[in-house]
Amino acid sequence: MGTYYTEGPILSAENLGVKYGDKEIIKNINFQELDVLRPGRVQGQIIAFVGRSGRGKSTLFRCMAGLQQPNEGRVLIPDLKQEPVAGKGYPLKEVQEGDVGFVDQKYTLFRHKTIEQALHFAMRKEPLSDEEKEAKINQYLIDWGLEEVRNQYPNELSGGQRQRTAILEQVLHSALYIIMDEPFSGLDVGNVQSVQNAFQLISQTHELNTIIFSTHDIDMAVNLADSIYVIGYPTLEDGNLEPIGTIVKHYDLKAEGLAWKDQMSQDHYDLVEGIKAVMMGS
Amino acid sequence: MLIASLWSVLLIGYWFLATSGEKKLFPPPSKAWEGFKDLYNEGLVVHIASSLGLCLQATLLSVVFSLAIAYLSPVPVFKPIAKALSRMRYLPLTGITFYLAMVVSDARTMQVWVLVVFMSLYFITSLLGVINDISQEEIDHARSLRCSRWEVLWEVVIKGRMDYVLDVLRQNLAITWMFLVTVESILVAAGGLGVLIKNSDKFMNHGRIVALQIVILLVGLGIDWFLNFLRKSLFRYSTIGN
Ligand SMILES: Nc1ncnc2c1ncn2[C@@H]1O[C@H](COP(=O)(O)OP(=O)(O)O)[C@@H](O)[C@H]1O
Ligand SMILES: [Mg+2]
């Protein structure tokens, strides 16, 4: 059930720090995720970042997406243009904008493009013929429940439809990594379910497909993710909090045997309580 | 719409009542109507066409100029130029007119250029506002789809804000329209509504002046309505104002 083994790194942050002017927002962010292989299955990874607001989750995400240059440190991802090394995966390179899919909190889209136009635009650099693109887009529109609104503009869509379009754009742009900032905020139950389904769909289509998301909903994080980071303010020696975001705790749900379960168990609920306690204290 | 027409009826009714006495500052509707007929016989339509032509010509020139400046403003080298031009709107126009007069002699050309200078300064200001309001998220969204700097400019700034340009045009046209009539009456050329106003002014013909004011107002409102209509029909996604 829980057997897996790991290969080379698929995402790594080294001593990451961001300042706005003189104000340090995040610092000392270090983590590494390894490629996970499960015998007989295709398994991308789902990584969650939780933390109270203002702790720097969005800032960290912008750095991981290559949209913002950190003041210190760097973010590394596999360089798929090079040959993989046996047992170690692909050599790493610094992330650049466009390497990683990014869906912001407001599900921003091009306001002047219909869903269909937007998806064509996302695929503009794919080496496929127009017919192949058309066929692919049609299939996705059906699978993602967007068929009926394909000719509508973002302002004519519901929040859920906008979000699915924003995710789909990144999927079709062939980003292996998709970073989503609070993908569950402001959605109703049905839409939350469809985003969860999308997560599973994405992570089971390609070995290296990696979803990184942030949320305030700890149950959701524990339910979906196989790795959870808590971003918060670290406690100083005098007992006060230092107001600069960093990783205060990491949970590897794979190692704890809690990943890839269909049902939440008591262990899961205990973990939820544990994470909440860490969040409150940071 | 219903409420608006009700108010119009009330207003016109008040005009009838308020001007029905002996001595009055304001001419009664009948006088205005006569003024209107006079004007019509003197070729009002031709004059309106002349003003509209001037307006169109000046608008096109200044839009091209302002858009070029505004679209280049995100490029660091051009930013100061755009800002400086936008500040120039505090320059007194008499000065500009003076220097323009040394370059062009023909009154019509003069009118066009005075208007172009005046409008451009306002357009640039409004367009810079529109561009500044583009959110970081919109730019990042394009970047996440591997848009180059030029693609961001083209997709987000130019195509993504085309409807705003029409709206800026519409909003600035109100002040332009007013200004245009003034320019026409100062720098007198062959025709135009400004000339009509000036002539009526000379003869203290109140009926004509009021009639003209109403005509100018209506034509202005017509342009406003037309541009709004154009924006909404060209850009289905446009939801500025209503
Ligand atoms: N562009 C910016 N300029 C200055 N401060 C910023 C900027 N963006 C975010 N911040 C500050 O950085 C801190 C972290 O913000 P953010 O990354 O959005 O946190 P989170 O996503 O965890 O709520 C906040 O205090 C916020 O005010
Ligand atoms: Mg945030």
CB distance B143–A112 less than 8 Å?
Answer: no
Q: Which domain holds residue A150?
A: 5-280
Distance separating alpha carbons of residues A130 and B231, to the nearest angstrom: 31
Least confident of A94-98, A164-168, B92-96: B92-96
A63-102 residues touching B, CB cutoff 8 A: 65, 67, 97-98, 100-102
Q: What's the pLDDT at B24?
A: 62
Long-range contacts of A138-142 (CB under 8 A, 24+ apart): A140/A168, A140/A171, A140/A172, A141/A115, A141/A116
H or E, element range at A237 = none
Pick from B230, B236, B196: nearest CA to B216: B196
Question: What distance lies between CA B176 and its chain's CA centroid?
Answer: 3
Task: Provide the domain count of chain A.
Answer: 1
Predicted ipTM of the assembly: 0.89
d(CA B196, CA B46): 11
Nearest to B143 among A97, A153, A170 (CB): A97
- Min mean pLDDT across A88-92, A244-248, A267-271, B91-95 is at B91-95
Secondary structure (3-state) at A229: strand
pLDDT at A200: 84
Q: What is the pLDDT of residue A62?
A: 95
Q: Which of B144, B163, B239 sits opposite A65 (nearest CB)?
A: B144
Structure tokens at A86: 């046996």
| CB A212 within 8 Å of CB A101 | no
Query: How confident is the model at residue A112, as a pLDDT?
Result: 96
B138 vs A contacts (CB less than 8 Å): 108, 111
| Residues in contact with B203: Cβ distance below 8 Å, sequence separation at least 6, in sequence order | none
Q: Greater confidence, B89 or A79?
A: A79
Question: Using CA atoms, how far apart are residues A62 and A97, in angstroms rounded to an integer?
Answer: 9
Q: Using CA atoms, how far apart are residues B88 and B168, in angstroms rounded to an integer?
A: 18
> Which two tokens mark A152?
């509508």
With beta carbons less than 8 A apart as the criterion, state whether A181 and A211 touch. no
User: How many whole angstroms separate alpha carbon A188 and alpha carbon A193?
Assistant: 9
Question: How big is chain A, counted in residues?
Answer: 282
pTM of structure: 0.85
- pLDDT attached to residue B85: 85
Q: Residue A2 above 70 pLDDT?
A: no
Mean pLDDT, chain A, integer: 90
B142 contacts on A by Cβ (under 8 Å):
110
Q: List the structure tokens of B106.
A: 């023909």
The CA distance from B230 to the nearest CA of chain A, in Å, is 16
pLDDT at A153: 96
Range from A231-235, A258-262, B201-205 that averages highest in pLDDT: A231-235
Q: What gap in Å lies between CA B23 and CA A173, rounded to an integer?
A: 77
Query: What confidence score (pLDDT) does residue B241 get?
Result: 65
Q: How far is the CA of B131 from the centre of ligand 2 (A)?
A: 24
Ligand 1 atom, smallest distance to A62 CA: 17
d(CA A65, CA A96): 7
- What is the A59 CA–ligand 1 centroid distance (Å)? 6
A29 lines ligand 1 (CB under 6 A): no
Q: Using 70 as the pLDDT threshold, list the residues of chain B that sit under it.
A: 21-25, 93-94, 201-204, 241-242
Domains of chain B: 55-134+163-234 (1.10.3720.10)
Dihedral over alpha carbons A129, A134, A136, A141 (to 10 degrees):
160
CA A271/CA B60 separation, integer angstroms: 66
> Is residue A133 within 8 Å of residue A117, measured between CB atoms?
no
Best mutation site among B130, B133, B138, B141 for testing chain A: the one with the most A CBs within 10 Å? B141
Ligand nearest to the CA of A282: 1
Helix (H) or strand (E) holding B210: helix B206-234
Among residues B145, B189, B113, B153, which one has the least CA distance to residue A102? B145
CATH code assigned at A32? 3.40.50.300
Q: Which among A104, A112, A121 has CB closest to B137? A: A104
Mean pLDDT of A209-232: 93
Least confident piece of the model among A147-156, A168-177, B123-132: A168-177
pLDDT confidence bin for A222, thresholds 50/70/90: very high
